[in-house]
Amino acid sequence: MSTSNASTSGVRKGAWTEEEDLLLRECIEKYGEGKWHLVPVRAGLNRCRKSCRLRWLNYLRPHIKRGDFSLDEVELILRLHKLLGNRWSLIAGRLPGRTANDVKNYWNTHLRKKLIVPHDQKQESKTKP
């Protein structure tokens, strides 16, 4: 049985270099997005197709907004999450320049913990009239 894991196929893992980013950008500019199975070969990268796709979509695509989320963005994330749940792509689609990955990470590191009521406070609210 053959396996296609990265350690046996010699595909590079880990942090991307500036040179790799440049090669990926040039490939996307020349051939466009899509056909991700061809991207590593066309770009001359020793990376798997999934790694190339995620690097492009989450970090290299033009017009990606970086940095802190504004108060308006945070309020919209809270409203949309209440309505849609963990459907990060749909939520990110309403936040120009933000990726689903960024929105999900922001939710998990900043917002989720603020919305969870500690167990002790739940008990207190039940016993108070």
For residue 127, give every residue at least 6 positions away whose Cβ sits within 8 Å of its Cβ, in sequence order, or none.
none
Residue-by-residue DSSP string for 46-113: -S-HHHHHHHIIIIISTT---SPPPHHHHHHHHHHHHHH-S-HHHHHTTSTT--HHHHHHHIIIIIHH
* 66-82 pLDDT per residue, tens: 899 999 999 999 999 99
Q: Which amino acid appears at position 51 of this protein?
A: S
The structural architecture, per CATH, of the domain 71-115 is Orthogonal Bundle (1.10)
The structural architecture, per CATH, of the domain 11-60 is Orthogonal Bundle (1.10)
* 92-127 pLDDT per residue, tens: 999 999 999 999 999 999 988 777 756 555 555 555
For residue 8, give the 3-state DSSP assignment.
Answer: helix
* 22-56 pLDDT per residue, tens: 999 999 999 999 999 999 999 999 999 999 999 99
Encoded tokens for 58: 């989450």
The boundaries of every CATH 1.10.10.60 domain in the chain are 11-60, 71-115
pLDDT at position 113: 79
